[in-house]
Amino acid sequence: MDFSRDFIQLACDKGVLRFGEFITKAGRKSPYFFNAGLFNDGASFGRLCDFYARAIVAAGIEFDMLFGPAYKGIPLVAGTAMKLAEMGHNTPFCFNRKEAKDHGEGGTLIGAPLAGKVLILDDVISAGTSVRESVAIIEQHGAATAGVVIALDRMERGQGELSAVQEVRQQYGVPVVSVASLSDLIGFLSDSSELADNLAAVRQYRASYGIDAAA
C-alpha cells in the first residue's frame, strides 16, 4: 500500500524510526528502533492519525466505535476519529484513564459509551498486555472487540513461534491491522539509496527472529 511507504518515510524524517544497534525488551540486538512517541507535533501527529484512518478504511473492518488504551492510545483515538470524520465516517470514541476518578463523572472511561463492535487503537503490540486489558474493559461493558490497529508490525517471534500480533489474532479471533510492517520496511529500504546500507542488517534480523513471511 502506498500509504505504508509514506508512513515509513514520515517516521524516518521525524526520527521515529532510527537505524543502528538497539537492544529490544526481549534482549535482542535490533538494527532499527521505532518510537511512536516522537510524533510529537501537530503536523506529524495529524499525518500519523491520517495513516491510521486510511489503514482502517482499507482493511474494511466492520466496527461501531474506537477505543484508545491509556496512555498512548488516548491521542491516537481522538486524532483518528477526527480524520475518519473528514473521510465521511463519523465515529464515536472512548478511552480509559489508569486510575478511577472519584468525583465529577467518576469511573475510568471518558468519551462515548462502549457499545457494539469496538476497534482498539495502539502504537505497537509487544507483549500484548495493553490489548488484553482493553479487551477486558470492552467485554465488561457488554461490547465486542472488532480488531486492533497499530502503527508498525515488527513481525518477529515472541516466546514461541508466533509473533505478538499473531498471538493476539489467535487468542481473540480478531484482525490486527498495521499501517506498516517489517516487510514494508524492507521494501522501503530496498528502494532507498539513502538508507540502503541498513538493508542487510534488517534482513538478517528477520532471518534470525522473524515469523514466516506468509504468516
Among 29, 89, 101, 141, the one annotated catalytic:
101
Would residue 156 count as lying in a domain? yes
What the block records as the C-alpha cell of 137 is 474493559
Total number of domains in the chain: 1
Q: Is the Cα dihedral 157, 14, 72, 43 positive or negative?
A: negative
- H helices, E strands: number in the chain: 7, 8
Residue 116's pLDDT is 98
User: Does some domain include residue 103?
Assistant: yes
Q: What is the CA radius of gyration of the chain?
A: 17
Question: Of the residues 14, 89, 98, 103, which is catalytic?
Answer: 103
Query: Does residue 203 belong to any structural domain of this protein?
Result: yes
Residue 214 lies in a domain: no
- 215 is a domain residue: no
pLDDT at 200: 97
Domain extent at residue 93: 2-209
Backbone angles phi, psi at 202, to 5 degrees: -70, -40
Separation of first and last alpha carbons in the chain: 18
The x, y and z cell numbers of residue 147, run together, are: 480488531
103 is an active site residue: yes
With the CA atoms of 155, 153, 60 and 117 taken in that order, what torsion angle do they form, in degrees rounded to the nearest 10?
Answer: 110
In a domain, 168, yes or no: yes
Q: What CATH number should be reported for the domain holding residue 62?
A: 3.40.50.2020
pLDDT at 35: 95
CB within 8 Å of 19: residues ≥ 6 apart: 31, 32, 33, 195, 198, 201, 202
Distance CA 53, CA 85 (A): 9
Q: How do the pLDDT tens digits run along the chain, 215 residues long?
A: 689 999 999 999 999 999 999 998 888 999 999 999 999 999 999 999 999 999 999 999 999 999 999 999 999 999 999 999 999 999 999 999 877 655 555 578 999 999 999 999 999 998 788 999 999 999 999 999 999 999 999 999 987 889 999 999 999 999 999 999 999 999 999 999 999 999 999 999 999 999 865 44
